[in-house]
Amino acid sequence: MDQTKRPLLIPPEFATYAEQHGVFDLYKRLLEQVIINKPPNPIAFMIDMLKRDNNDVPQIVILGPPASGKRTISKMVSNKLRTAHLTPDNLVSEAETDIKSEAQAFIKKNQTLPTELWVKILEERMKLFDCVKKGWVMEGFPQTREQAQALQAIGIFPKHCVILDSPDTVLIERAQGKRVDPTNGDIFHTTFDWPSNPEIQNRLKEVEGYTEEDMINKLIEYHRHFEGIYDCYKKCSKTVNADQPKADVFSQVYTFLSSQLRSNAPHTPRIVLLGATGSGKGVQASLLANKYNIVNVSCGNLMKQAIADETKQGLAAKAYIDKGMMAPDNIVMTILSARLAQLDCVSRGWVLHGFPRTREQAETLTKDGFLPNRVFFLDVPNDSVMERLTLRETDPITGERYHNLYNPPQSQEVKERLCKHPSDTEDEVRKRLSQYHAYVEEIADFYTDAQHVNADQDPHTVFECIESMVVNPLPKHFP
């Protein structure tokens, strides 16, 4: 690029390529793994990491007190996401012969397995194909803070930790009816989840160690270690009420698993605000720009500035506007592209409003490389829009804007000199609303990841909603 050229225009592909292909996240993951594993040959290690088809696999821990439904939910999640299902029992039974023999020696003596041995078992298990390529769901482990920290030390840390919670009295009562299928380990309940198949009913057995006294002892031990484990996983955890039907529990768990944690990789906001006239796009754009130091790009203001500066494109647009016509898309896009390609927009990010208004404009924006990573529809009922716009007036002396209901003038003198803008008459507002609704469905079909926000409320409440979806990654869509 010629740095002497002013203004410096940066091709939009520079900003979008790295984000589309996850380059920054890739660097972050590589550096994390190098620091954790400390390989003797970091270059060869990173090359091996890059050869893996997919590093973005589910890594889930499901914890909870006994009889909270960990086994049932873990199996449902594992089947849904097609991941490996890890439990303390199958980790030992599937371990290598030497490690397995060592672990079984402790089990026969009714002794707790040392943390070092658990680390060996899990380290070897995580290297297998199913965990590497498909991810894993670990049920009921770690059981102590020491185990959780030991796993972190070797780089085993969940992306999501689900904590199933329920009152102890409910868990003790639930344990009385717990039954297990010895053929596959499926858990059933005499009251809440009895199988319809008579063959399965006949082979169900009571679970040992779930008498009232046993449950009390297990619950005491669980609560003694829980706070320590929670401190290790609190940034990636969610507590779900397990005292409800399993379908409802699974629904809440799956919604949480679809969410993504914030990344430390660089992120440049490119936001598009869409909505009917009077929906508050300008207000929200201003709030976002002020708080996050991104560029507030108003298409309408850009057009006015181009006309005032008498630029080539501005004069071309003025010829149409003077006749009461919309400026052609190619003229608008040329003016908009010149602004979005400037250094401040590329480096700091931008929030665009007033464009696109049709699907064709949205397609042109994307085709020219200005691909937004957040799109919001500000939804407001037509009646509220009419109330907002037709009742507002402006003081011609001070320029202060008033509203007859929400912000009336304080003096009769000011009230008498207020003027209404010609575009705020009922006919003009209805005309703009009809134009918006004629194209909104087509735009929504184009921006499939767009988020809808209820904008018929306090502006700062709307801003908090938009802000939460700007700073947090969008929900993940599992295949």
Question: Residue 5: which pLDDT band, with cuts at 50, 70 and 90?
Answer: low
Asked if residue 15 belongs to a domain, the reply is: no
Same domain as 370, residue 237: no
Q: What is the mean pLDDT of residues 394-406?
A: 85
Identify the residue whose tokens are 């003027």: 419
Asked if residue 4 belongs to a domain, the reply is: no
Residue (of 120, 122, 114) closest to 88 by Cα position: 122
Same domain as 329, residue 227: no
- Single pTM value for the model: 0.71
Asked if residue 208 belongs to a domain, the reply is: yes
The answer, yes or no, to whether residue 252 has pLDDT greater than 90, is yes
pLDDT tens per residue across span 60-76: 999 999 989 899 999 99
Same domain as 355, residue 234: no
Two tokens, residue 38:
């400390």
Asked if residue 39 belongs to a domain, the reply is: no
Q: What is the mean pLDDT of residues 280-297?
A: 94
Report which of residues 4 and 165 the model is more confident about: 165
DSSP one-letter string for 14-55: HHHHHHHTTHHHHHHHHHHHHHHH--SSHHHHHHHHHTSS--
pLDDT at residue number 479: 56
Same domain as 249, residue 308: no
Two tokens, residue 338:
């010149």
Asked whether 177 and 192 are in contact (CB, 8 A), the reply is yes
Domain tally for the chain? 2
Same domain as 334, residue 377: yes
Two tokens, residue 263:
């990344």
* DSSP state, residue 461: H
177 contacts: CB under 8 Å, gap ≥ 6: 189, 190, 191, 192
pLDDT at residue number 399: 81
Range of the domain at 414: 270-471
Same domain as 236, residue 116: yes
Question: Residue 6: which pLDDT band, with cuts at 50, 70 and 90?
Answer: low
Cα dihedral across residues 209, 215, 216, 222: positive or negative:
positive
Same domain as 228, residue 92: yes
Q: What is the mean pLDDT of residues 178-199?
A: 78
Please give the Cα distance from 106 to 125 (Å, whole number). 19
Instruction: Give a three-class secondary structure readout of 406-419.
Output: CECCCCHHHHHHCE
Select from 211, 228, 258 the last residue of a domain.
258
The answer, yes or no, to whether residue 336 has pLDDT greater than 80, is yes
Exposed e or buried b for every residue in 387-397, given b needs 16+ CB within 10 A? Answer: bbbbbbbbeee
Question: Residue 1: which pLDDT band, with cuts at 50, 70 and 90?
Answer: very low
Same domain as 384, residue 331: yes
The answer, yes or no, to whether residue 265 has pLDDT greater than 80, is no
15-22: Cβ within 8 A, 24+ apart: 15/268, 15/270, 15/346, 16/270, 16/369, 16/371, 19/267, 19/268, 19/373, 20/371
Select from 223, 238, 258 the last residue of a domain.
258
Residue (of 78, 96, 64) closest to 185 by Cα position: 78
Select from 258, 286, 310 the last residue of a domain.
258
Asked if residue 11 belongs to a domain, the reply is: no
Asked whether 21 and 350 are in contact (CB, 8 A), the reply is no
Same domain as 410, residue 459: yes
Identify the residue whose tokens are 């849904």: 80
The answer, yes or no, to whether residue 137 has pLDDT greater than 70, is yes
pLDDT at residue number 98: 87
The mean-pLDDT minimum among 246-250, 262-266, 331-335, 338-342 falls in 262-266
Two tokens, residue 325:
């016509």
Q: For the beta carbon of residue 462, count every other beta carbon within 10 angstroms.
A: 22
The answer, yes or no, to whether residue 153 has pLDDT greater than 70, is yes
The answer, yes or no, to whether residue 133 has pLDDT greater than 70, is yes
pLDDT tens per residue across span 363-374: 999 998 898 989
Identify the residue whose tokens are 């939804």: 379
Please give the Cα distance from 312 to 104 (Å, whole number). 82
Same domain as 300, residue 242: no
pLDDT at residue number 158: 93
Please give the Cα distance from 111 to 224 (Å, whole number). 18
CATH number, domain of 102, equals 3.40.50.300
The answer, yes or no, to whether residue 53 has pLDDT greater than 70, is no
Cα dihedral across residues 408, 411, 415, 421: positive or negative:
negative
The tally of CA atoms less than 13 A away on the side-chain side of residue 349 is 22
Percent of the chain with pLDDT over 90: 43
Q: What is the mean pLDDT of residues 256-263?
A: 82
Asked if residue 442 belongs to a domain, the reply is: yes
* DSSP state, residue 342: B
Two tokens, residue 131:
């965990």
pLDDT at residue number 298: 94
Asked if residue 439 belongs to a domain, the reply is: yes
Q: What angle do CA 344, 348, 349 make, to 5 degrees?
A: 100
Asked if residue 362 belongs to a domain, the reply is: yes
The answer, yes or no, to whether residue 48 has pLDDT greater than 70, is yes
Mean pLDDT of the chain: 87
Same domain as 321, residue 254: no
pLDDT at residue number 167: 93
Please give the Cα distance from 380 to 462 (Å, whole number). 11
Same domain as 297, residue 248: no
